[in-house]
């Protein structure tokens, strides 16, 4: 049974599921990302191990930032997902057609095709509408390495900004449980294409999105920009003129054209929002202000909707990557506490959200998880405020967990309590002794 369960989870990664499986209500639809979350982490570690054996560099700080962003995304996905499909059931009650759907292969495959087609346009809008790019998608492209962990670097706003794209399927008569299941599978399919280990898949490259095609999509080279938007099929790109093949003689530079120098997912999440607000405010007319928000990120007054490619920066390899180095013990600490944060994320999803605990409890978990990710990012960036903030974070956890069982597994609760308690003492002491010379200097002054 365990082997079968593992095979089923591997199948989910490649959209291989039983098309006759019935979901009577939206509550019956599996949470596919949660079903494969531990498999994803295993594959990320496996990829890293293979790269080490090949003698290639594995940057822990970059992978760490991507994993932390993924935890943020999954922490609030219940809110973003509700916004994404808001109004779907209301529209379905006013549908024009009744499509057979229980054990209907025709409806299953039609949904499969339409969901992928719609995702192409969602993805294209993410790149071609500036405010959606800033709020929902630039975070994903901020990774300077191209590994499986990059797939987890998703903005907390991305799903919410997909609202309105899927709703027309309700009027056609596609039942919500079927649409919901395909949206989840389509999202998971995109994980495996984020790797450099798979070079070419031969004839499959003509039909499906592959790692080769998606590497182009993540490039900041001028010839890579705004290309290869598909999820499962590359056919949409070939049909609508956005396809670009990988060029073996031109190394791809991953990341943003204007790369933010930080490993803090919180800063990556919000920095470009500030940038587009400033851009819109600096426009001289209301029309240009509107265009600054709804035209492409590269647009400037007098340019075409997506900007003038001749004015885009001509980025070529090699480009220096942001790579601050932490001591090994510090890296280990961040990894251990990121795993602790993942545990809290799973407690939130599988306990408090399923039991619908008080909104205060849910909000406290969300705030704590986001604060944790921000502090870890501050540590990697060498920010002065990170050590005292970490001491406070650990103190707050120990104060809360002293009277409240967090996981309801005694041995795990004890381990977490000890981990946070020791960390609190360590960072409090380190903060005091680090700041002591500065306090003396201020007194002398």
Percent of the chain with pLDDT over 70: 97
Task: Quick: pLDDT tens for 373-410.
Answer: 999 999 999 999 999 999 999 999 999 999 899 998 99
Does residue 308 lie in a domain region? no
Does residue 292 lie in a domain region? no
Asked if 257 contacts 273 with a C-beta cutoff of 8 angstroms, the reply is no
Res 154 pLDDT > 70: yes
Of the candidates 190, 153, 152, the one whose C-alpha atom is nearest the C-alpha of residue 268 is 153
Span 412-425, average pLDDT:
97
Does residue 377 lie in a domain region? yes
Q: Do 61 and 202 belong to one domain?
A: yes
Q: Do 229 and 344 belong to one domain?
A: no
Res 26 pLDDT > 90: no
Please tell me the predicted confidence (pLDDT) of residue 34: 87
Please tell me the predicted confidence (pLDDT) of residue 441: 45
Please tell me the predicted confidence (pLDDT) of residue 181: 94
Count of helices and strands (H, E) across the chain: 18, 0
The per-residue pLDDT of the chain, averaged, comes to 92
Q: Do 59 and 165 belong to one domain?
A: yes
Confidence of residue 439 (pLDDT cuts 50, 70, 90): very low
Q: Do 378 and 229 belong to one domain?
A: no
323-335: burial string, b at 16+ Cβ within 10 Å, e else: eeebeeeebebbe
Q: Do 214 and 340 belong to one domain?
A: no
Give how many domains the chain has, as a whole number: 2
395-407: burial string, b at 16+ Cβ within 10 Å, e else: bebbeebeeeebb
Of the three residues 208, 240, 272, the one that is the final residue of a domain is 240
Please tell me the predicted confidence (pLDDT) of residue 18: 87
Does residue 419 lie in a domain region? yes
Q: Do 20 and 149 belong to one domain?
A: yes
Task: Quick: pLDDT tens for 276-308.
Answer: 999 999 999 999 999 999 999 999 999 999 999
Please tell me the predicted confidence (pLDDT) of residue 1: 41
Backbone angles phi, psi at 81, to 5 degrees: -65, -40
Does residue 371 lie in a domain region? yes
Q: Do 214 and 362 belong to one domain?
A: no
Span 218-243, average pLDDT:
97
Span 231-249, average pLDDT:
97
Does residue 408 lie in a domain region? yes
Of the three residues 240, 261, 285, the one that is the final residue of a domain is 240
Res 180 pLDDT > 90: yes
Does residue 140 lie in a domain region? yes
DSSP annotation of 137 reads I
> What residues make up the domain containing 37?
2-240
Place of tokens 């007194």: 443
Of the candidates 111, 93, 114, the one whose C-alpha atom is nearest the C-alpha of residue 178 is 111
Please tell me the predicted confidence (pLDDT) of residue 183: 96
Of the three residues 209, 240, 271, the one that is the final residue of a domain is 240
Please tell me the predicted confidence (pLDDT) of residue 4: 52
Q: Do 10 and 155 belong to one domain?
A: yes
Q: H or E segment at 216?
A: helix 211-217
Does residue 316 lie in a domain region? no
Task: Quick: pLDDT tens for 91-149.
Answer: 999 999 999 887 789 999 999 999 999 999 999 999 999 999 999 999 999 999 999 99
Res 242 pLDDT > 90: yes
Span 329-344, average pLDDT:
95
CA separation for the pair 166, 164 (Å, rounded) = 6
């Amino acid at each position: 049974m365990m082997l079968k369960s593992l095979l089923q989870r591997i199948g989910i990664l490649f959209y291989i599921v039983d098309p006759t499986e019935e979901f009577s209500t939206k509550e019956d639809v599996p949470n596919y990302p949660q079903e494969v979350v531990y498999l994803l982490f295993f594959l990320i570690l496996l990829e890293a191990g293979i790269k080490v054996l090949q003698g290639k560099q594995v940057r822990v700080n970059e992978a760490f930032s991507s994993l932390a962003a993924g935890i943020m995304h999954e922490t609030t996905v219940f809110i973003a997902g509700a916004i994404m499909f808001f109004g779907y059931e209301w529209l379905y009650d006013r549908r024009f057609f009744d499509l057979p759907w229980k054990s209907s292969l025709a409806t299953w495959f039609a949904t499969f095709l339409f969901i992928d087609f719609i995702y192409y346009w969602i993805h294209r809008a993410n790149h071609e509408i500036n405010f959606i790019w800033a709020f929902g998608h630039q975070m994903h492209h901020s990774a300077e390495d191209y590994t499986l962990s990059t797939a987890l670097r998703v903005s907390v706003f991305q799903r919410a900004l997909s609202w309105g794209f899927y709703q027309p399927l309700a009027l056609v008569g596609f039942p919500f449980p079927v649409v919901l299941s395909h949206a989840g599978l389509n999202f998971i399919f995109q994980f495996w294409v984020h790797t450099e280990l798979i070079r070419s898949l031969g004839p499959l490259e003509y039909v499906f999105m592959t790692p080769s095609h998606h590497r182009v999509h993540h490039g900041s080279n001028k010839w890579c920009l705004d290309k290869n938007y598909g999820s499962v099929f590359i056919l949409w790109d070939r049909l609508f003129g956005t396809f670009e093949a990988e060029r073996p003689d031109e190394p791809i530079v991953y990341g943003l054209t204007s790369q933010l120098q930080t490993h803090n997912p919180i800063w990556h999440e919000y920095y470009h929002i500030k940038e587009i607000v400033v851009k819109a405010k600096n426009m001289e007319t209301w029309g240009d202000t509107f265009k600054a928000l709804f035209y492409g990120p590269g647009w400037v007054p007098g340019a075409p909707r997506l900007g003038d490619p001749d004015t885009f920066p001509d980025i070529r390899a090699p480009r220096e990557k942001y790579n601050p180095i932490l001591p090994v013990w510090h890296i280990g600490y961040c990894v251990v506490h990121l795993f602790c944060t993942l545990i809290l994320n799973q407690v939130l999803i599988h306990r408090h959200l399923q039991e619908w605990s008080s909104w205060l409890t849910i909000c406290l978990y969300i705030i704590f998880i986001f604060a944790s990710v921000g502090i870890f990012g501050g540590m990697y960036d060498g920010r002065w405020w990170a050590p005292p903030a970490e001491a406070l974070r650990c103190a707050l956890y120990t104060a809360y967990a002293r009277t409240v069982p967090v996981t309801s597994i005694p041995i795990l609760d004890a381990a977490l309590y000890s981990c946070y308690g020791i960390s609190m003492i360590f960072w409090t002491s380190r903060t005091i002794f680090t700041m002591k010379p500065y306090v003396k200097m201020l007194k002398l002054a």
